[in-house]
Homo-oligomer: A and B are copies of this chain.
Amino acid sequence: MSRITIVGGGLVGGLLAIFLAKRGHTVHVYERRPDPRKTDVYAGRSINLVVSHRGWTALRAAGVEAAVKEITVPVYARMMHDREGKLNRVPYSIDNKAIHSVSRGELNRRLLSEAEKLANVKLFFDHRCLDVDLEHATCRFELDGKEAVEVKADVVFGADGAFSAVRSKMAWGRFTYSQEYIEHDYKEVAFPAHPDGTPKMDPQCLHIWPRRWFMMMGLANQDGGFTGTLFMPHNATAQSPGFDSVRTPEQVQAFCREHFHDALPIVPDIVEQYLRNPQSSLVIIRCSPWQVNGRVALIGDAAHAIVPFYGEGMNAGYEDCKVLNDLLNTFGDDNWAEVLHRYAAARKPNGDAIADLSLRNFVEMRDLVADPRFLLRKKIEGHIQARHPDKWLPLYSQVKFSDIAYKDAWNEGLRHDRIMEEVLSMPDIGEMWESEEVERKALALLESMSG
């Protein structure tokens, strides 16, 4: 059995520790921040998470599915709020499948407590990674700004997020790397519950205020409140306001009134929150290779940070853990060079694909969900899926409700796009979308594009 250093005790580091410790390895987790069970480390800058199929598959394999399920709220549909406050509910699947909303802090605390129950896991907080010796799998950490400890291990995992210190030490030699900030930043807005703890909106929906160039969304917490997030361009354009043009109390008030009218009674202090909460940026990280020498590997956001619009960042990281665990089952626990090589080869293309998928879903969420043509497409796809579940699984379901590799889902999604473009251009499609003719056409196109 091996000595493992995990740098980063966040969502992925916590689950990875559980997987590896249950296999018998000795696992030491070093986290830069304080223990989140003692301090609220995410205050005011969190986006709620959703656990979807891949996440559950991994949590189940690690034996912590039930412990996590307790703290989640099922979400069955998108609820769109238009400018007049009119609602439109669109289910995520035709068979009542749910994704599960969870607070980042809650989930992190729960996983760390589960990890700590295992005798061969040790957690160290307030330890910042200073250096990683890639050849000897040795890390140096500092505690309270002073050099604290040098840790030798057999294998080091960098589970330390988008701004990974471990990754920065891999950035020598021929390390291909990109960080891309998207134009949109975000701000958290907390939606309170009624005084008696009942929610003010349907908690089993993801609420979206799509405004084409920007949007707000809200995901339920267990306390009846919602964590809301406003996504808006950093700089205003001719088409859109930006965080730089909505700054004074008057501007914020006018902005909220115009665009989020129906949210005002639900979040009476929305203006104060906007002015108080920090504005955070969103980055996409891609890199290669993900492992060096069979001794140091990246996992989760450290390897593939993505934008949050598919709610798959954490699920992708959990799938990394699950794939790694499966490879250890196949190739043994003392064959790290082989396992890490295969892990990186298997996961890198999927990391790239979910990055692309997530950007695509941003357009869908902020713009298309308000487009009647897009909603018609959803109906047609649902209809075909219901009649031919073996042939047609919409892209969203492939990503959120299946184990289909992200890269295969991406390719299939592009094929669906081309087919649906032709279907939507059929005359009178608005009236005849449930007809056999439409169905035949879609399936014939699918057949002709297969392989």
Contact = CB atoms under 8 A, between A and B. Distances in A.
A284 to B, nearest CB: 9
B175 A178 contact: no
Contacts of A179: 171, 175-178
Contact of A181 (B176, B234, B281, B283): B176
A281 B173 CA distance: 8
Contacts of A283: 174
Contacts of A234: 174
Contact of A174 (B171, B173, B178, B181): B181
12 contacts: A174-B181, A174-B234, A174-B281, A174-B283, A175-B181, A176-B179, A176-B180, A176-B181, A177-B177, A177-B178, A177-B179, A178-B180
Nearest to A284: B176
A365 B347 CA distance: 34
Contacts of A281: 173-174
Query: Which residue, A173, A175, A179, A234, has most C-beta atoms of chain B within 10 A?
Result: A179
Contacts of A178: 177-180
A226 B281 CA distance: 50
A30 to B, nearest CB: 24
A246 to B, nearest CB: 18
Interface in A166-217: 171, 173-181
A180 B286 CA distance: 11
Query: Which residue, A180, A234, A281, has most C-beta atoms of chain B within 10 A?
Result: A180
Interface string A263-295: 000000000000000000101000000000000
A178 B171 CA distance: 12
A181 B178 CA distance: 11
A177 B234 CA distance: 18
Nearest to A281: B174
A291 to B, nearest CB: 16
Contacts of A173: 281
Contacts of A171: 179
Contacts of A175: 179, 181
A362 B342 CA distance: 31
A90 B177 CA distance: 38
Given A171-B179, A174-B281, A176-B179, 14 more contacts: A173-B281, A174-B181, A174-B234, A174-B283, A175-B179, A175-B181, A176-B180, A176-B181, A177-B177, A177-B178, A177-B179, A178-B178, A178-B179, A178-B180
Nearest to A183: B174
